[in-house]
Amino acid sequence: MRFTLTSVFAMMLASPAFAASGPFFSLRNTDFVVLIAFLIFIGILIYVKVPSMMAKMLDARAEGIKSEIEEARKLREDAQTLLASYERKQKEVQEQANRIVEAAKEEAAAASAQARADLATSVERRLAAAEEQIGSAEAAAVKEVRDQAVLIAVAASRDIIGKQMTAAEGNKLIDAGIAQVDAKLH
C-alpha cells in the first residue's frame, strides 16, 4: 500500500515534466520555453539593476542594524554608568545616615550626661538650702530658748531681788547701773 501511494504521488508531481514533447531545444518544448522566459526575466532584472538595488537595500538594512546595535550598546553603557552613579549615591546617603545616627546617639549621650550633672547640681543646691534652713531654724530655736531663759531668769531675779531687797538698796543699784552705763558710753 505504501508503495502504491508513493508511486501515485510521484507520477502526479512528474506529470508536467512529461508533458513536454519533442526535442529539448524546440519552441514546442514547454521546458525550453520556460527556461528562455526565465533567462529573459533574469536579464531584465540585471539590466534594471535590481541586484545592485537589493544589495544597496541590504547594505542599508545592515547599516541600520549596526547603528541600532551601537545605539543599544551606548544606552547600555549609559545605563551602567547611571546605575553605578546611583549605587555610589546610595552608599553616600547610607554613610551620611549612619553619621547622623551616630551624631544623634552622641548628642543623646551628652544630653543624658548633662541632665545627670544638672540633677546632681540641683540635688546639691536643695541639700545646701535644706541644711541652711535647718541651721537657721536651729539658730532661731536656740535664740528663742535663750530669750525665754533670759525672760525667766529676769522674772526669777526680779522676784528674788524684790523679796530680798529694800528700797535703799534698789536705789543704790540703779545709781550704780547708771554710772556703769555712763562710763561705757563715754
Number of domains the chain is built from: 1
Q: Does the residue 157 lie in any domain? A: no
Q: Does the residue 119 lie in any domain? A: no
Q: Does the residue 150 lie in any domain? A: no
- Structural domain including 36 reads 19-48
* pLDDT for position 14: 45
Long-range contacts of 105-114 (CB under 8 A, 24+ apart): none
Quick: pLDDT tens for 153-184.
777 777 777 777 677 777 777 788 888 877 87
Q: Does the residue 183 lie in any domain? A: no
Q: Does the residue 130 lie in any domain? A: no
Q: Does the residue 36 lie in any domain? A: yes
Quick: pLDDT tens for 31-85.
889 999 999 999 998 999 988 899 999 999 999 999 999 999 999 999 999 999 9
Q: Does the residue 44 lie in any domain? A: yes
Q: Does the residue 115 lie in any domain? A: no
The closest of 16, 32, 15, 33 to 24, measured between CA atoms, is: 32
